[in-house]
């Protein structure tokens, strides 16, 4: 399954939970796409799996994600 994550800004207080979500999705074999600006914030504060893909706009997601989380 392909999952997209979108958020405008990382709340550092939630970083540990986002880390757990990303690792859980990775371990279960989900392909995870992350909005590019959010991905950059995540990389500053977390260890993110190498398997993450990025998207820059909704146009990049056309047919690529089956589920989207807006955080």
Measure the N-to-C terminal CA separation of the chain; round to a whole number of Å: 19
What is the H or E stretch that residue 56 is in? Answer: none
pLDDT, tens digit, for every residue of 34-63?
Answer: 999 999 999 999 888 888 999 999 999 988
Q: Could you tell me which CATH number the domain at 2-70 has?
A: 3.40.50
- Model confidence over 8-27: pLDDT tens digits? 999 999 999 999 999 999 99
Q: What are phi and psi of 47, to 5 degrees?
A: -90, 110
pTM: 0.87
Inform me whether the pLDDT recorded for 5 exceeds 90.
yes
Torsion of CA 51, 65, 20, 13, to 10 degrees: 110
Element (H, E) at 21: helix 15-27
For residue 29, the 8-state DSSP code is: T
pLDDT value, residue 2: 95
Domain edges within the chain: 2-70
Residue 47 has what pLDDT?
85
pLDDT of residue 41: 94
């Amino acid at each position: 399954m392909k999952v997209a994550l979108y958020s405008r800004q990382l709340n550092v207080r939630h970083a540990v939970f986002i880390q757990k979500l990303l690792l859980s999705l990775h371990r279960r074999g989900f392909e995870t796409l992350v909005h590019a600006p959010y991905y950059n914030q995540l990389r500053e504060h977390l260890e993110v799996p190498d398997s993450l893909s990025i998207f820059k706009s909704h146009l990049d997601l056309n047919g690529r994600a089956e589920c989207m989380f807006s955080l």
